[in-house]
Structure 1
Amino acid sequence: MKNRSETGQSQRQPNRQRRKTRSALLEAGQHLFAQRAVEGVTVDDIVAKADVAKGSFYNHFDDKNAFADEIFEDIGRELELLIAQNNEAVGDPALRVSRALCTVLQYARENPDRTQALLSLGDRRASPVSPLNDGLSADVGAGLSTKRFSQVGSECAILSVVGLIAVTVRHVLSDAPLPDPVELASAMSAALLRVLGIPADEATILGIESASAIVASGARC
């Protein structure tokens, strides 16, 4: 008869192997979705990349769409957490939005594969009411309710922020020659704030402040 410690060890080993397999699948999916759209990736591609049996995929995920959703949500949560951390002591909605853009840009520079996968799965973020946009929605709502933002409605403001951040990140991940990342971050932050109704001079100052605090300092992403 096995003693208690042997039984506990035998139970932990399958759990450890299960976590290892799940991790391998998610890592493989992230890499593949960074290169191709969901429609261009098959379950066979995923298990081959992860080097696991095909049946293992369905032990962890119902189908490819559920698998893609989990990768998207995992990366999105990571980014939302970083934005929240970088904005923890910031009350001004304009500065919070500006720093959010800089955080995503810095994250893209440090995590190009994960960021490209997020963009590839970006149709799941199209709705401004997506749970992944809760923080952004709150900041935009605060800016509108206090008249910090003007000349734009809530939905338009959220879509403008999401769209401009996505365009900036795609540019960073492209093969095109890039300007200094601090200059790019400050310029795009200022442009975003101007869309939200912040005066040009103030938008420029806030953009420079955000880029200096997050991109120039290499804030951990």
Structure 2
Amino acid sequence: MADKATKPVPDETRRKPGRGRRSREATRQKLIDAALRVMARKGVDGTAIADITEEADVGFGSFYNHFKTKGELAEVVFHVHAEGISAITKTIARQEKDQAVAVSFIHKVFLTKAVADPVWGWFLIHTANWLPELWSVFAEQGTDDIRRGIAEGRFTVSSEETAMRIILASLVATMRLMLDGQAKAGLEAETIECLLRMLGVPGDEARKLSRRKLPAYVAELLRQKTSEPGAASAD
């Protein structure tokens, strides 16, 4: 007689834990995607947990199986999507030998990404004030880029930290105008030109750099990141 302890476990029984785990992960992703869309429309303060669970089409109690607070979820949403743009800007910093060229492309990436993925753009705008500490993800990398530009003799600012704060504030303000449909023709290039001038790039050169198209490798990275799951469309 076969030992019951050594009886083969039915395939269906073995699959159940896997299905449960996948279901849990799927629910968590639904909440992240829903929070991105709702917070992009209403801002973080104006968003209730019930708004998120309704958008995600999950039970209200499911929220607390994955996140403790709305703020924690907002941080997760930010980091999930910020990693993609951060990867692009790091690639640019490695590829471009001239730091002025690299920085001009990085500024253009921020603005281009916001217009191509407006849900992410509005989320960024709303979190700029609500979760300012998260912007250290961009500020630290940007400050390092400016510091390298100073070492190369391309930039002449006396404080890279202050310059970076001005840059982020300017990019967010321009982003808002572009997403609101209030941007005049050429605003993107004008913003980048002004920021390059502030860093110490001569006027004529700053103007030329601000009007350069993104190179093919950057455009392709942007296309990939914008088309990845989680890059929501505006409703």
TM-score, normalised to structure 2, is 0.82
Shift in Å at residue 37 of structure 1?
2.2
Give deviations 1:27-49, integer Å, cap 9, x for gaps. 11111111112121111111111
Aligned residue among 77, 80, 86 for 1:74: 80
Residue 113 of structure 1 aligns with which residue? 119
Aligned residue among 18, 27, 30 for 1:24: 30
Give deviations 1:99-130, integer Å, cap 9, x for gaps. 01111111112100111112111126645981
Shift in Å at residue 145 of structure 1?
2.7
Residue 208 of structure 2 aligns with which residue? 205
Aligned residue among 188, 191, 196 for 2:191: 188
Give deviations 1:132-185, integer Å, cap 9, x for gaps. 333212101111233321144111111122112112211210132542xxx443
Distance 1:128 1:201, change over 3 A: farther
Moved more, 94-103 or 7-16: 7-16
1:6 aligns with 2:12: yes
Shift in Å at residue 212 of structure 1?
5.0
SS at match of 1:39: coil
1:57 aligns with 2:60: no
Bigger Cα Rg: 2
Query: Structure 2 stretches of 5 or more lacking a match?
Result: 1-6, 227-235
Query: Structure 1 stretches of 5 or more lacking a match?
Result: none
Question: Cα RMSD between the aligned structures?
Answer: 2.4
Contact 2:150 2:157 in 1 (8 A): no
Contact 1:105 1:169 in 2 (8 A): yes
Contact 1:144 1:150 in 2 (8 A): yes
TM-score, normalised to structure 1, is 0.87
Shift in Å at residue 188 of structure 1?
2.1
- Mapped to 1, the partners of 2:183 and 2:45 lie a distance apart of 30
Shift in Å at residue 64 of structure 1?
0.9
